[in-house]
Structure 1
Amino acid sequence: MADTRDQNPAKQNRASKLLNEGLSRRSLLIGGGAGVGLLLAWAVWPRTYLPNLTADSGETLFGAWLKIGTDGHITVAVPQAELGQGVFTAFPQIVADELGAAWSAVGVEAAPLNPLYANALGAATLFEAALGGLSESLQRTHATRSALVLTGGSSSIRNFEETLRKAGAAARAMLCKAAARQWGVDWQACGTANGEVIHGNQKLRFGEIAAAAASEDVPNPLPMRGGEANRLYGQKVPRLDAPSKVDGSVNFAGDVRLENMVFASIRQGPVGTAGLAKIDEAAANKVLGMRAVVKTERWVAAVADNWWAADRAIDAMKPRFQVPGDVVNDDTIADALTAALDGEGKRIAETGDLAAQFKGARLVSAEYRVGLALHAPIEPMTCTANYADGRMSLWLPSQAPGLARAAAARAAGLSEDSVTVYPMMAGGSFGAKLEHAVAEQAAVIAKQIGRPVQLTWSRVEDFRHDCYRPAAAARMAGKLGPNKSLAGWLAKIAAPSAGRELSERLLGGDPLVAATLAVSGGDPSAVAGAIPAYAIPNYAVDHHPAAIGVPSGHWRSDAHSYTAFFNESFIDELAHVAESDAVTFRMAMLGSQPRLARCLQLAAQLGNWQGGAQGSGQGIACHSFRGSHIAVLAEARLGAGRKVKVERMVAVVDVGRVVNPDLVEQQIEGGLIFGMAAAIGGSTGFTDNVASVMDIADLNLPRLADMPDITVEIIRSDADPGGVGELGVPAVAPAIANALQAATGVRFRALPLLSDVE
């Protein structure tokens, strides 16, 4: 969709000239501060952005976030992708609460692309390697300037809650002013409830005065609602997206059907492919329904009357790709991690004098490994594209629709203004749908064949060309003091610089990103979550960058998924060496973390913690994540066939203020199951540059019969909202590993669990 910025042309031309003439990456490196200064000056150049939300007949717009119909219906615009996390309910709930609306009258629609919907916190989280060194205000300005509409990093509520509350409050004040004008009373004496403006016994429905209210001024300062009566915030209101998902009426990207549409299947080369070498096009043309072949240096697609025919045609082609001499397999990945640990690392965090503490001391040490993790959502990568009259339309689920639009435009040789993205519901993602390769491919195919086309990756393609949660390894060392308290801690973590890779891949054309990446050189996001939550007087965390030859991307909870495994497994080992109860050992070091300590203590109580005694099969772990805190108690054992059997999980969370308790509980439960799946499966090896896993059945995912008994307790809190969508994942794997140690007496130090056992 078109950029709606209201800009001064002279300033815009000057800024463009500065960016285009000499602010290449090379000039930034040579010019140093001068080049960066010009970029910063461009980033703070004054601009104004106008809403581009559209109103249907009988609707009145109230800014960029909501509109009210004459019948009283209220529609809230949501820029975030609905991935199952409930954002299509939480956002309207915040607005409706502040507005004083009746929940039965509230609806939702996807917001258009606009800088007003930029997610600065999400950008700072996802692209920490590129933007982490900038001030918070510059991060916010850059995200807005770049129209970074993003979903990810458990950032949606944290970033938008205040904006949504103000949108609801502004509309409420305008409605009260319009009603007060009719009644001849002070507007501040009016209130709202259940979709009506109220003054004593006088009432007016929102729809009756919406048109008149739109011309009222927004007061400054803006009064926010107070009190507990008639509030929607904190209530278990029904999900707005649930009915259509239950009855099947909701449209996902694969449901899109356009006149004269064809279907495409694609084949991309192995990791490290240098180019397409050979295809058997004649064999593909023998497939009934086959229409066309589209190929580039990196991939080849078959286009047919239906997807099944297209996929058969791709198989018949037997594509061959040129692969350079560097082979990627399980051994090379393991060797790369070992070499990185043996090499020099970059210190990310430290406190105290660890070297002095470790000198000549008897240390407790352990080494841990985690394998590549797949995203594996139910819905594979898919996009429908239509090119007509010089314009491209795309229908796809995307966590970054603006970036997808830009990438598709570049690939098809079009301007961004000529590309329109229609965001669709996503059938899961876990970070995968930040990537936009499928949008690029669909755009190229549609432009070349001149017909609407729906491109869907096969499950094999989805697995082989995932941007995986990277493999990682850690060497942990700790020193116990005379009273068996923890006196020193060293975490040496080998992992790819996944944050830099993601930033370069998705934001590589951004001059400010290129500049900051060139200057920073590090990637703290690769070891995010590794700084221990415990009061340890001397500690250090080192990142050892590892080049494993496999593409990596954003994955639910990112590095926290392995740093929590390293930390909470090792703290458990230290507790055993200290001959201390694992909960008591942790609690003694959580005096400065009362919210996390409360989660840990309550999880132990609810789970009937037995001290981690041998044979109990109980393990516990805790973790802090993006303003939220969690403790997980797991009960697990080795079942038949030496398979991990998780029988029970108890999770206690403190996520700050809760918009909707049902959504939080659903997300924590989903995160626990996701974390459990990653603990016992969900991984792939590599053989000759190709992922070994080819089907969901190969992932050893837990089935319904494998589900443990789950208890989720939400601690009431008035703190600012923290992240929820990813919170349930990190503490699960170490809790299960600790439980298996209590059940078997054996410490398992690799993920997936038992993968290091012959």
Structure 2
Amino acid sequence: MGRAPRKAVQRKDQSRGIDRRTLLVGAGASAGLLLAWAAWPRSYRPNLNAAAGETVFNAFLKIDRSGQIVVIVPQTEMGQGITTLLPQILADELGADWRTVGVQSAPVSPLYANSLLARQWLANDWTRIAGDAGDWAIDQYATRKALMLTGGGTSVPMFHKSYREAGAAARVLLCQAAAARWDVAWESCDIQNGIISDGGQRKLKIGEVAEEAAAFGLPEILPFRQGQADRLAGQDLPRLDTPSKIDGSHNFAADIRLPDMVFASIRQGPVGDAVFKSADEAAARRVTGFLKLVRNDRWVAAVAANWWAANKALDLADPVFELTGAQLSSERIEAALEQGFSSSSGQRLYSQGDLAPLFDNAAIVASEFSVDPGLHLALEPMCATARVTDDAAEIWMAAQAPGLARAAIADALGFGESAVTVYPLHAGGSFGRRMDVEAGVQAALIARDMGRPVQLLWSRLEDVIQDRPSAPAHARMAAKLGRNGMIDGWLAKVAAPCGMSQTWDRIARRKPPHEAARDSAESSTRLAVAGMELPYALPNWAVDHFPVDPGLPIGFAPGNARLHGAFFTESFVDELAHQAGIEPISFRIQMLGGNPRLAHCLTTVGAMGGWQGGIEGSGQGLAAHQMDGAYAAVMVEAAISGGKLSVSRIIAAVDGGDQINPDIARQQVESGLVYGLALAMGASVPYAKAMPRRAIMGRMGLPRLADIGEISVELVRSSAPPAELTEAGAPLVAPAIANALFTVTGQRFRKLPLLPRT
């Protein structure tokens, strides 16, 4: 069956991105900001430091005399393998020996701006009206503001071309230098396994001509490598960060040690508009090693000779905060979401066809769903180390937005941005939490007050209280089934805050979390209903968003709004399949005539998992979704025993294009699947009196190894450009489990987490 033309209209998207004035300013600027390989960019040059013997070839590559390949990576490594994937792209085009490849974090520079994530994040009505000019304006804005961003599964799609070009350019220059020594045409030379040769007996190591090569020029058309022999792309190469993480030499933020350094713990009060009032410093002084309480309008930190002493001193100091406004509670969150449906701020963001005549006096299928906020619970709590002098500051921290972190720290200290150096570190997990920058700002202020280096580490309790979880959401779903079992009409109404809008207001506009939450509730945005734009060919459908402020600041998470969007959509599709009396895979595929990649994933996962058709008692459920060049289907086998959820199998089929490192791609999918399982089982807490009611990870209901069972991931062969798969699996696990539980209980599970916890 052919797919109906997609004519969905995006309307009234007032996301907090680039406004009309900024767009016009950007549109009048020069376009010569892109990185050119024939010569250095006119406006921006690499700001890399070169050690003795190192030669800078471009913004992404240095080579030293020994042949060491140093690849510069601007993306934050959070376990997703990006510090292997990007070097692998470059090394493949260069012809390098993988054993000689190393990684260095990039400094803040416009050359590393992630304009792809900026487009996703900042696009609104003004930029869409402008079309290509709007995209160009966002690209200009991202470049000039040096928006180095990691998130949204954009790292590989954003930088794949740049790293290919960087490797190819260096290969050409090195071949030119070798050819000049041999007095042959450079086109006859090539590099394989780190050795330059002219096809005959003459050979040189890369490092021998690195310095000479940088003086040559590039041809107008940059040649890429041809053929598949000795290629690194597509191989399961070992990760570059694994050895140091195994032997313990890998430095995370809490591993930094500086001369004369002291340690700090912090309290920031309950959730909401909390202001610090008082603390008992005399009690804190009873702790051996305690040095000082550092006070701020919104927090208080204890500084001591070691972290345990600092945290104990804070406990004894018993800080008091004054909270303005209503206290956060789970009941308040639920009430705000329900009241959101009557808000005048609601807007129809997607619309196709005409639903009115279908829904008037017709029998429709309707269901309501809800999702609780999901905590990040990364292994490493928020942490930063700072050294501040009278005129400069150095900050060691994991940051998904290092340029914005630097700007916020400079603003807090009253310094120019050039006086602040941020040393980007790998994160011990993040799930989006390191997009926020407050730990770096706090560490810098404490270090300035102390006059010596300070390492600030949040306690686990503080990390939970001050988390910016994924969005809570309610949905009212309605559909009209036709006589042939097809969906004639579909309407989704979603009440939810927007984590991406709030995060931008916090890190770019420096708003306190409670103000960002309040202001984001003033307008609807497509960012809050991502995942609700259907992959299915329906003639009549619409999505309405109702913005709300439930009193809980929220933020980035894997999949962002897709975590609730896919749960609502795929759970409801399964209900409709049951109502229509059609097997769930067939029900979906009959609406995917124009989407063969997603249909292939569905048939593949069904074959891999031994799909029984979703019959009663099978314990099998599935879900499918597409996002940013990745197509995925997930099937699970689940049951409830003794009031506890158990998942014995998770099978995923993913089409993410031509993957650079298939093993890392599988790791990314598996990570997302486990994260999605955590959301289904727990990873959420009830709130009362502006505080979470539990903060111990053992009480979160998180999955353990014994709970996970077998996980199988199949990467569907594809010649499409590679997508990053860090977010492909997370949104699909919960709806697949909910659909599976229906087959064994006969009841629909329409709330996340799936089983209630007190």
* TM-score interval, normalised by the smaller of the two chains: over 0.9
Which position in structure 2 is the counterpart of 1:18?
none
Alignment of 1:417-428 (within 5 A): 417-428=418-429
Q: Is residue 23–residue 137 contact of structure 2 (8 Å, CA) maintained in 1?
A: no
CA deviation after TM superposition for structure 1 residue 189, in Å: 1.6
CA spacing shift, 1:254–1:63, aligned 2, 3 Å: same
CA deviation after TM superposition for structure 1 residue 745, in Å: 1.1
Counterpart Cα distance in 1 of 2:271 and 2:468? 11
Deviations 1:24-43 (A, max 9, x none): xxxx99xx966753454358
CA spacing shift, 1:45–1:214, aligned 2, 3 Å: closer
Asked if 1:152 is matched to 2:147, the reply is: no
Counterpart Cα distance in 1 of 2:544 and 2:695? 35
Which position in structure 1 is the counterpart of 2:45?
50
Structure 2 letter corresponding to 1:535: A
Alignment of 1:512-523 (within 5 A): 521-523=523-525
State, as a whole percentage, how many aligned pairs show the same letter.
47
Which position in structure 2 is the counterpart of 1:580?
582
Q: Is residue 68–residue 207 contact of structure 1 (8 Å, CA) maintained in 2?
A: yes
Counterpart Cα distance in 2 of 1:33 and 1:336? 31
Which position in structure 1 is the counterpart of 2:596?
594
Deviations 1:375-411 (A, max 9, x none): 1100000000011252111011111111111111111
The Cα RMSD (Å) is: 2.0
Counterpart Cα distance in 2 of 1:538 and 1:545? 24
Deviations 1:470-525 (A, max 9, x none): 11010000110011211110000000133322221122279xxx9xx99x943110
Which position in structure 1 is the counterpart of 2:708?
707
Q: What secondary structure does 2:341 align onto?
A: helix
Q: Is residue 129–residue 499 contact of structure 1 (8 Å, CA) maintained in 2?
A: no
Counterpart Cα distance in 2 of 1:132 and 1:439? 32
Deviations 1:248-306 (A, max 9, x none): 11111101111111100000011223411221111111111110110111000000011
Which position in structure 2 is the counterpart of 1:452?
453
Asked if 1:606 is matched to 2:608, the reply is: yes
Which position in structure 1 is the counterpart of 2:38?
none
Q: Is residue 126–residue 554 contact of structure 1 (8 Å, CA) maintained in 2?
A: no
Q: Is residue 127–residue 502 contact of structure 1 (8 Å, CA) maintained in 2?
A: no
Instruction: Provide structure 1 residue ranges, at least 5 long, that are not aligned to the other structure.
Output: 1-27
Which position in structure 1 is the counterpart of 2:115?
120
CA spacing shift, 1:130–1:42, aligned 2, 3 Å: farther
Q: Is residue 75–residue 150 contact of structure 2 (8 Å, CA) maintained in 1?
A: yes
Q: Is residue 176–residue 186 contact of structure 2 (8 Å, CA) maintained in 1?
A: yes
Counterpart Cα distance in 2 of 1:680 and 1:86? 26
TM-score normalised over the length of structure 1: 0.92
Counterpart Cα distance in 1 of 2:667 and 2:95? 26
CA spacing shift, 1:677–1:130, aligned 2, 3 Å: farther
CA spacing shift, 1:490–1:126, aligned 2, 3 Å: same
Which position in structure 2 is the counterpart of 1:65?
60
Which position in structure 2 is the counterpart of 1:397?
398
CA deviation after TM superposition for structure 1 residue 96, in Å: 0.5
Deviations 1:79-99 (A, max 9, x none): 111111111111110000000
Q: What secondary structure does 2:191 align onto?
A: strand
Q: Is residue 372–residue 685 contact of structure 1 (8 Å, CA) maintained in 2?
A: no
Deviations 1:326-361 (A, max 9, x none): 121111110111111244421010111111111111
Which position in structure 2 is the counterpart of 1:10?
none
Which position in structure 1 is the counterpart of 2:102?
107
Structure 2 letter corresponding to 1:41: G
CA spacing shift, 1:67–1:482, aligned 2, 3 Å: same
Which position in structure 2 is the counterpart of 1:355?
356
Asked if 1:388 is matched to 2:389, the reply is: yes
Which position in structure 1 is the counterpart of 2:682?
681
CA deviation after TM superposition for structure 1 residue 220, in Å: 1.1
CA deviation after TM superposition for structure 1 residue 688, in Å: 1.1
Which position in structure 2 is the counterpart of 1:430?
431
Q: What secondary structure does 1:323 align onto?
A: strand
Counterpart Cα distance in 1 of 2:22 and 2:198? 59
Asked if 1:81 is matched to 2:76, the reply is: yes
Deviations 1:536-586 (A, max 9, x none): 110000001111011011111100011100000000000111111111111
Q: Is residue 128–residue 499 contact of structure 1 (8 Å, CA) maintained in 2?
A: no
Which position in structure 2 is the counterpart of 1:22?
none
Q: Is residue 639–residue 645 contact of structure 2 (8 Å, CA) maintained in 1?
A: yes
Q: What secondary structure does 2:324 align onto?
A: coil
Instruction: Provide structure 2 residue ranges, at least 5 long, that are not aligned to the other structure.
Output: 1-16, 34-41
CA spacing shift, 1:744–1:159, aligned 2, 3 Å: same
Structure 2 letter corresponding to 1:113: V
Q: What secondary structure does 1:683 align onto?
A: coil
Deviations 1:57-111 (A, max 9, x none): 1221101111112111111000111111111111110000000111111111111
Which position in structure 2 is the counterpart of 1:481?
482
Which position in structure 2 is the counterpart of 1:371?
372
Q: What secondary structure does 2:730 align onto?
A: coil
Q: Is residue 273–residue 325 contact of structure 2 (8 Å, CA) maintained in 1?
A: no
Alignment of 1:502-581 (within 5 A): 502-508=503-509, 521-581=523-583
Q: Is residue 124–residue 131 contact of structure 1 (8 Å, CA) maintained in 2?
A: no
Structure 1 letter corresponding to 2:246: V
Structure 1 letter corresponding to 2:51: D
Which position in structure 1 is the counterpart of 2:696?
695
Counterpart Cα distance in 2 of 1:127 and 1:332? 30
Higher mean alpha-carbon deviation, 183-192 vs 430-439, is at 183-192
Structure 2 letter corresponding to 1:240: L
Counterpart Cα distance in 1 of 2:414 and 2:317? 27
Counterpart Cα distance in 2 of 1:45 and 1:69? 31
Structure 1 letter corresponding to 2:182: W
Q: Is residue 26–residue 141 contact of structure 2 (8 Å, CA) maintained in 1?
A: no
Structure 2 letter corresponding to 1:186: A
Counterpart Cα distance in 2 of 1:44 and 1:104? 39
Q: What secondary structure does 2:142 align onto?
A: helix
Q: Is residue 262–residue 305 contact of structure 1 (8 Å, CA) maintained in 2?
A: yes
CA spacing shift, 1:33–1:525, aligned 2, 3 Å: closer
Which position in structure 1 is the counterpart of 2:499?
498
Alignment of 1:646-661 (within 5 A): 646-661=647-662
Q: What secondary structure does 1:372 align onto?
A: coil
CA deviation after TM superposition for structure 1 residue 157, in Å: 0.5
Counterpart Cα distance in 2 of 1:333 and 1:445? 34
Alignment of 1:228-243 (within 5 A): 228-243=228-243
Structure 2 letter corresponding to 1:497: C
Which position in structure 1 is the counterpart of 2:663?
662
Structure 2 letter corresponding to 1:153: G
CA deviation after TM superposition for structure 1 residue 56, in Å: 1.5
Alignment of 1:240-389 (within 5 A): 240-344=240-344, 345-389=346-390
Q: Is residue 236–residue 661 contact of structure 2 (8 Å, CA) maintained in 1?
A: yes
Counterpart Cα distance in 2 of 1:299 and 1:387? 19
Structure 2 letter corresponding to 1:700: G
Q: Is residue 60–residue 214 contact of structure 1 (8 Å, CA) maintained in 2?
A: yes
Deviations 1:225-247 (A, max 9, x none): 11111110111111000000011
Which position in structure 2 is the counterpart of 1:176?
175
Which position in structure 2 is the counterpart of 1:470?
471
CA spacing shift, 1:428–1:555, aligned 2, 3 Å: same
Counterpart Cα distance in 2 of 1:632 and 1:645? 16
Which position in structure 1 is the counterpart of 2:28?
41
CA deviation after TM superposition for structure 1 residue 204, in Å: 1.3
Deviations 1:716-737 (A, max 9, x none): 1111122311111011110010
TM-score normalised over the length of structure 2: 0.92
Q: Is residue 625–residue 723 contact of structure 1 (8 Å, CA) maintained in 2?
A: no
